Amino acid sequence: MSLFQVDGALPEIVVSRDDFIILSKLASAANTETGEDLIGELERATIAETETLPANVVRMGATVSYSIAGEAPRTVRLVYPADADIASGAISVLTPIGTALLGLKPGQSIGWTATDGRELQLKVIAVFGGSYDAGRPQQRASAPETPEDPGPFAA
């Protein structure tokens, strides 16, 4: 596992029920070490109803500021893989740091192993809103829907 505890224990994390359902499918389909790490995080998470998830929890679509020892603070947005764009600060939940950030609140820390093998620790400074618009996450995480009515030209 590329995530590890800081100061004796992994931090408690909270994930919305909607994110849990979508991310479980995404992580299972990924069939990668990072996908396995995401499954591990989801399994240990407290699941909250989406409407009651505290605003200061890192969720899909949230913008989060964090620090890594010895580096300047960074601000990124946690996104699905198809929306990832490091140049614009949009990081995929299926990266080691994206998985590490999920479910944390300001003041919490976690360690992770970067893709280059370095063991790093981050601390969340602030979380700013976030959530994908209704419908988008479902479309990214599952197969396309087939219409119920195939129309007048269906065979």
User: How far is residue 87's CA from residue 133's CA, in Å, rounded to a whole number?
Assistant: 22
| Contact criterion met (CB below 8 Å) for 111 and 4 | yes
Taking alpha carbons only, the member of 121, 119, 118 closest to residue 110 is 121
Q: Using the Cα atoms of residue 8, residue 47, residue 33 and residue 58 in order, give the sign of their dihedral.
A: negative
Q: What does the pLDDT read at residue 117?
A: 85
**How would DSSP label each residue in 87-147?**
GGTEEETTSHHHHHHTT--TT-EEEEE-TTS-EEEEEEEEEE---PPTTHHHHHHSPPPPP
| Contact criterion met (CB below 8 Å) for 51 and 14 | no
Taking alpha carbons only, the member of 50, 54, 61 closest to residue 101 is 61
For residue 87, pLDDT beyond 50: yes
Global pTM value: 0.80
**Mean of all residue pLDDT scores within the chain:** 83
User: How far is residue 52's CA from residue 94's CA, in Å, rounded to a whole number?
Assistant: 25
Average pLDDT of the residues in 97-112: 94
| Contact criterion met (CB below 8 Å) for 26 and 94 | yes
Assign domain 3-131 to a CATH class: alpha beta
The predicted-structure confidence for 2-55, as pLDDT tens digits, reads as follows: 667 766 788 999 999 999 999 999 999 998 888 999 999 999 999 999 899 999
130: its two tokens: 């976030």
Q: What does the pLDDT read at residue 135?
A: 36
